[in-house]
Amino acid sequence: MGEILVFLGPPGAGKGTLASWYREKTGARHISTGDVLRQAVKDGTEVGKVAAGYMDAGKLVPLEVILDVLFEAVPNFSEGTILLDGFPRTVEQAEALDQRLSEKGLEVNRVVLFEIPDEDVVKRLSSRLLCPECGAVYNLESAPPKQEGVCDACGESLIRRRDDEPDSIRERLKVYWDSTAPLVSYYKERGKLIPIDASKGIQEVRAELEKVSG
Ligand code: AP5
């Protein structure tokens, strides 16, 4: 029997990095709404055209768009372990997810909260690099590529995400504290929340995640 796992936390907390590791380790299906949206922007789809402006500005994509994106990416929640990274991000989204899951007799099983101070977020996002081809994520400080500016996995030139500019980082943090942080009490009240200290080094965060995620 699979389960539905959510990674919750501020931008740059390491959700995507740890989700990739968790997927490789467990075979879980990793759905990052941010990755799906970035692909849609790259492909120039209708969703991508709507989403691009919100994403660059660090704002949330509208509810109806993000629900379409999620339910298209995961038409059936009952197969295997599903790891949701970047969704839900508002109480409204969490309620829509609960509603959809309850129709199938399912529920969110566990929510791992990545806790990290804002100043660490700013440092991490200012030194993040991304491969536009295969999506691999690097960090000039903590996880640099072997060859400067080049993806280890596919050899493509690395780029900075457009929303990793200072104004956008500030807005994303504001959106997190205004709209996403209320999910902490939402899931705590339901007995699903597992906080971990995401400000530690990658190996330590992995070890903590391993302990709590079974
Ligand atoms: P999304 O892509 O989900 O961005 P995010 O949540 O802001 O998270 P990030 O991807 O920036 O950070 P992360 O926590 O994954 O950190 P990472 O592992 O890369 O969303 C982007 C946009 O899409 C949103 O702003 C919004 O517009 C839209 N969107 C997406 N979902 C939506 C939704 N549900 N509703 C509405 N709109 C939505 O790590 C960061 C850096 O730190 C990397 O360089 C990494 O190498 C490094 N690092 C990671 N862990 C460590 C560590 N322990 N120590 C040192 N360095 C580390």
Return the number of other C-beta atoms located less than 10 Å from residue 51's C-beta. Answer: 23
* Active centre residues (catalytic): 15, 89, 128, 161, 172
Backbone angles phi, psi at 126, to 5 degrees: -70, -20
3-116+175-213 is a CATH 3.40.50.300 domain? yes
By alpha-carbon position, which residue is closest to atom 45 of ligand 1?
A: 139
Cα gap 127→15, rounded to integer Å? 16
Question: How far is C-alpha 180 from the geometric centre of its chain's CA atoms?
Answer: 12
Q: Which of 169, 165, 163 is nearest to 56 (CA)?
A: 163
Cβ burial 109-120 (10 Å sphere, 16+ → b, else e):
ebbbbbebebee
Instruction: Tell me which of 14-23, 73-82, 99-108, 128-137 is least confident.
Output: 73-82
For the segment 56-94, what is each residue's pLDDT rounded down to a tens digit? 999 999 999 999 999 999 988 888 899 999 999 999 999
Nearest atom in ligand 1 to 202's CA: 53
For the segment 156-211, what is each residue's pLDDT rounded down to a tens digit? 999 999 999 999 999 999 999 999 999 999 999 999 999 999 999 999 999 999 99
Nearest atom in ligand 1 to 38's CA: 23
Q: Which of 7, 8, 17, 50 to mutate to test the pocket of ligand 1 (most atoms within 8 A of CB)?
A: 17
Tokens 């596919």, located at residue: 154
Nearest atom in ligand 1 to 143's CA: 46
Cβ(128)–Cβ(142) below 8 Å: no
What is the residue extent of each domain of the chain?
Answer: 3-116+175-213
